[in-house]
Amino acid sequence: MLWPIDLIVLTFVIFCAIAAITVRDLLGTAILFSAYSFLMCLLWAVMGAVDVAFTEASVGAGVSTVFLVAAVFRTSRRTKD
């Protein structure tokens, strides 16, 4: 098993999740959600679930990011509060 790699990726996943919640910039949040999804893809691949990793990469890091960034550019980028 590759426990050190798992722990490093899991630490980055937790960091991205917390950062995505606390960031006030909507574009930054969309990018952090994309990074979170990509790191989850890596975690799935390391665990041996390649089909789930491929789905996470294509849908989570790919299509969702495009939709979130497009929605951010159609609204205001910063929150009012």
Q: Reduced to 3 states, what is the DSSP secondary structure of residue 78?
A: strand
Where is pLDDT greater, at 79 or 53?
53
User: Does position 76 have pLDDT exceeding 60, yes or no?
Assistant: yes
- Identify whether the C-beta of residue 72 lies closer than 8 Å to the C-beta of residue 42: no
Tell me whether residue 30 is exposed, middle or buried, using C-beta atoms within 10 angstroms of its C-beta: 0 to 12, 13 to 18, 19 or more: buried
pLDDT in tens, 20-32: 999 988 889 999 9
Q: How far is Cα 22 from Cα 57, in angstroms, rounded to an integer? A: 24
Q: List, as own/partner pairs, every contact residues 4-9 make where C-beta atoms lie below 8 angstroms and the sequence separation is at least 24, other chains included.
A: 5/46, 6/43, 6/46, 6/47, 9/39, 9/42, 9/43, 9/46
pLDDT in tens, 6-64: 888 899 999 999 999 999 888 899 999 999 999 999 989 888 899 999 999 899 888 99
Identify each DSSP E strand in the chain by its residue range.
none
pTM of the model: 0.84
